[in-house]
Amino acid sequence: MRYISTRGGMPPKPFSEILMSGLSPDGGLAMPESYPRVNADELERWRGLSYPALAYEIISRFIDDIPAHDLRGIINQTYTVDAFGDAEITPLKTLEPGLYILGLSNGPTLAFKDIAMQFLGNLFEYTLEKTGKELNILGATSGDTGSSAEYAMRGKHSIRVFMLSPLGKMSRFQTAQMFSLQDENIFNIAVRGVFDDCQDIVKAVSNDHDFKLNHQIGTVNSINWARIVAQIVYYFKGYFAATRSNDEQVSFSVPSGNFGNICAGHVARMMGLPIKQLILATNENDVLDEFFRTGVYRPRTTTETKHTSSPSMDISKASNFERFIFDLTGRNAEKIKELWGAVDNGAAFDLTSTPLWDKVKDFGLVSGSSNHAARITTIRTIYQKYNILVDTHTADGLKVGLEHRQPDVPLICLETALPVKFAESITEAIGHEPERPAGFENLEDLPQRSVVKDADTNAIKAFIKEQTT
Ligand SMILES: *Cc1c(COP(=O)(O)O)cnc(C)c1O
């Protein structure tokens, strides 16, 4: 399996050469040259596999330049009862016949990002050990991504994490989750500013090519292809858990932001998993819903981006969306260059007057959006009806999923975080706080470790330099 760029400017490369990179040199995203197809016999065999065994079957189709024995080891080391609290890793909960929630949030930070990030941590460590290199991960976070990355990389050899977050702007729970890590390779940097200041600093440092090279700076953002690959696995796992035979179809509803999670569903479908609909749910930041309703993709400015009660979906543009459009155009890199030529300059594109718009329906993608009132009502209704408590993001997925639900097609709603992370909205919905999972009872009382810096690129660079030399 080799990888190309959505913008056509990268010679085909093996997986290990795209693992650590973010964007391709031409500004595009890495994509496999073609999707591996799963035949009926394989699908039948996979039905009975444990999560790690299934993960190996799927991941090894995309990562074929790590020896089989080593790759199996990395996967077995990642998907353990110890890390995910359940031998199923992603257990399926039945609300009623034909309606399910796929539990993706039982990892160490209680959000679905752990499923890919825990794998990435072990994969990075393995690769760095082989090459004798070091990696300094620089990131900006307003919550989930940062903690997920830190819990995946803590204690890993040859890796340090420098995570910027806006001082005093994260919830107490999220702050405690990150800042209570005492591992010496984790650096929490609270920046006097807002999230966008943090993100600007990461961009500025990444654009300083000398600094980046001299200090082995890397990122773990959602465009990393290995993260997408790891997420494909639970679409198969969820499908097998909700069906009895492989001639059945299911639909998935996916709370979406950067289009990473649902992109994995799209790939699973392209591989041959019988998915009827991929239902994309947004919150008030409805840039993706707008596209699937109107054919117009118009990224928002940061001032247009709203702060919502499902904050991990507060995005202005969807970084993985280019991957889907690449497939929609029949993998036409020239067309992607043209479309993203506009997008990268803050402009919109409109597919309605092109033959492409008609093709969208062939990919099974439909969409809808949610808002605070609908979210709270959904949390309350699901709790009253099924005695199951969902978080705000999962509620958006359920709300939109139910609107698109078809008779006789099982609907699997992806759970992307646990309610305990968003206690305020839960209390608003059901009148009391969510229960804390074991081990999180005194999180906010644990000693915390962080440094405070001005929103100044040079100050951050100086800090990184101090810690790495
Ligand atoms: C990251 C995140 C999402 C959005 O996922 P994408 O892959 O960016 O579409 C949804 N819910 C939660 C809780 C998240 O952390």
Q: What is the reported pTM?
A: 0.96
| pLDDT for res 463 | 97
- Give whole-number Cα distances, 391 to 92, 101, 413, in Å: 16, 12, 12
Taking the CA of residue 393 as reference, the ligand 1 atom at the shortest distance is 11
| pLDDT for res 22 | 63
Alpha-carbon gap, residue 81 to 166, rounded angstroms: 34
pLDDT tens per residue, range 28-46: 999 999 999 999 999 999 9
Q: Whose CA is nearest to atom 2 of ligand 1?
A: 312
| pLDDT for res 25 | 82
The 3-state secondary structure of the chain reads CEEEECCCCCCCEEHHHHCCCCCCCCCCCEEECCCCCCCHHHHHHHCCCCHHHHHHHHHHHHCCCCCHHHHHHHHHHHCCHHHHCCCCCCCEEEEECCEEEEECCCCCCCECHHHHHHHHHHHHHHHHHHHCCCEEEEEECCCHHHHHHHHHHCCCCCEEEEEEEECCCCCHHHHHHHHCCCCCCEEEEEEECCHHHHHHHHHHHHHCHHHHHHCCEECCCCCCHHHHHHHHHHHHHHHHHHCCCCCCCEEEEEECCCCHHHHHHHHHHHHCCCEEEEEEEECCCCHHHHHHHHCEECCCCCCCCCCCCCHHHCCCCCCCHHHHHHHHCCCCHHHHHHHHHHHCCCCCEECCCCHHHHHHHHHCEEEEECCHHHHHHHHHHHHHHHCCCCCHHHHHHHHHHHHHCCCCCCEEEEECECHHHHHHHHHHHHCCCCCCCCCCCCHHHCCCCCEEEECCHHHHHHHHHHHHC
Provide the edge-to-edge strand list for the sheet that holds 365-369. Answer: 92-96, 99-103, 411-415, 250-255, 275-282, 365-369
Q: CATH says 92-110+225-430 is which class?
A: alpha beta
Pocket test for ligand 1, best of 113, 310, 413 (most atoms within 8 A of CB): 113
| pLDDT for res 210 | 94
pLDDT tens per residue, range 143-200: 778 999 999 999 999 999 999 999 988 888 889 999 999 999 999 999 999 888 898 8
Alpha-carbon gap, residue 459 to 437, rounded angstroms: 38
Provide the edge-to-edge strand list for the sheet that holds 186-192. Answer: 217-218, 135-140, 159-166, 186-192, 451-454
Instruction: Give every residue of the chain whose pLDDT is below 70, as ranges.
Output: 22
Alpha-carbon gap, residue 37 to 378, rounded angstroms: 37
Q: Which residues line ligand 1 (CB under 6 A)?
A: 111, 113, 144, 222, 255-261, 312-313, 393, 416-417
Please list the residues that pair with 369 across neighbouring strands.
Answer: 282
| pLDDT for res 24 | 81
Alpha-carbon gap, residue 4 to 34, rounded angstroms: 10
Distance 288 CA to ligand 1 centre (A): 13
| pLDDT for res 294 | 96
| pLDDT for res 302 | 82
Q: Whose CA is nearest to atom 7 of ligand 1?
A: 260
Question: Which residues are tagged catalytic?
Answer: 113
Closest CA to 324 of 427, 381, 396, 254: 254
| 192: Cβ contacts below 8 Å, ≥ 6 apart | 167, 452, 453, 454, 455
Q: Whose CA is nearest to atom 1 of ligand 1?
A: 312
Pocket test for ligand 1, best of 312, 398, 421 (most atoms within 8 A of CB): 312
Distance 255 CA to ligand 1 centre (A): 7
